[in-house]
Chains A and B, each alone.
Chain A
Amino acid sequence: GAVVSQHPSWVICKSGTSVKIECRSLDFQATTMFWYRQFPKQSLMLMATSNEGSKATYEQGVEKDKFLINHASLTLSTLTVTSAHPEDSSFYICSARAPAQPQHFGDGTRLSIL
């Protein structure tokens, strides 16, 4: 069964609103969580890496004020897309890992901004 749960799986919202995506590790403590963005028919682009209790490390070119990441516990990380616009529409995938363990992925969230 799934070890990483991502919610919601699909969201449609109006331009200018903020959207929060949750990522939970179900049966392990995820000391590190990752957020990826995937454009149609392309590979995954790492947006940021977060360690529990500390600020996320963003990849070059990713706006930290636009994509707010919180990793408040060992089982939960959230990605908030603030003031979303149509160009933010994408497939967002979270991933979680415990030390020395494989990295597990959520099923992704398809975000559509109208």
Chain B
Amino acid sequence: GDSVTQMEGPVTLSEEAFLTINCTYTATGYPSLFWYVQYPGEGLQLLLKATKADDKGSNKGFEATYRKETTSFHLEKGSVQVSDSAVYFCALRGTGTASKLTFGTGTRLQVTL
């Protein structure tokens, strides 16, 4: 079945540092890929998405490129802020009308001054 593997956290960075959170997936066909962010005590918010190979999703300075050859969708940001501290979930949705979101285990990011 479908699965998502993302790097374990927590990831601790200083403000303005470069961020990479790795995500790889296993799925049949051509899934859509997502990054969600969860702030403390809240639900998930869609951060960005990509629906086909080589697509780049971007939002709020975050980027991720759908790499089918490496089955990856790594999240990057050039300069993190304290306000980026949250848990980041990589997810995929397989093809088909009944497909569901499959989440990775989440990576906690802590940004310090």
Contacts and interface: CB of A to CB of B under 8 A. Distances in A.
* Real binding pair: yes
Interface residues of A, number: 19
A105 B100 contact: no
Top 6 A-B residue pairs of the complex, sorted by shortest distance between their CB atoms? A105-B43, A105-B44, A107-B43, A108-B43, A43-B105, A43-B103
B89 interface: yes
A93 B105 contact: no
A42 B105 contact: yes
Nearest to A102: B46
Which of under 10, 10 to 19, 20 to 34, or 35 or more describes the interface residues of B?
10 to 19
Contacts of B41: 107-108, 110
B48 to A, nearest CB: 11
Interface of B: 36, 41-46, 49, 89, 93, 100-101, 103-106, 108
Interface of A: 4, 6, 34, 41-44, 46, 49, 93, 95, 102-108, 110
Nearest to A107: B43
Nearest to A93: B43
Contacts of A34: 100-101
A106 B46 contact: no
A106 B45 CA distance: 9
